[in-house]
């Protein structure tokens, strides 16, 4: 066998590759774990998206903000006028 042939044999030799039968099961176990953790965490971009899409949610938030604002004003008036 000359050098070039040896080089070819070296390059083309098979690399024994035994993937364990549990490999995909192990990966999926970790994937489910990650997916579970992700679901349990607050997804802020998702909340913002939901807020953007849901009009009644926007009205509710606006009403809450107005009430909160008015209650503060009422406190200020109460302090100034001291009835």
Residues that bind another protein (CB under 8 A): 1, 3, 6-7, 9-11, 13-17, 19-20, 23-24, 26-28, 30-32, 34-35
> CB-wise, 35 or 63, nearer to another protein?
35
Distance CA 74, CA 35 (A): 47
> CB-wise, 34 or 74, nearer to another protein?
34
Return the residue matching tokens 């579970």: 36
CB of 16 to another protein, least distance (A): 6
Check if the beta carbon of residue 50 is closer than 8 Å to that of residue 57.
yes
CB of 48 to another protein, least distance (A): 16
CB of 52 to another protein, least distance (A): 18
Give residue 8's Cα distance to chain centre.
48
Phi/psi of residue 44, nearest 5 degrees: -60, -45
């Amino acid at each position: 066998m000359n050098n070039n042939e040896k080089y070819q044999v070296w390059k083309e030799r098979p690399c024994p590759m035994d993937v364990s039968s549990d490999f995909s099961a192990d990966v999926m176990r970790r994937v489910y774990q990650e997916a579970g953790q992700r679901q349990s965490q607050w997804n802020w971009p998702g909340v913002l998206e939901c807020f953007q899409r849901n009009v009644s949610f926007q009205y509710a938030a606006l009403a809450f903000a107005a009430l909160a604002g008015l209650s503060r004003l009422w406190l200020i008036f109460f302090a100034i006028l001291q009835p």
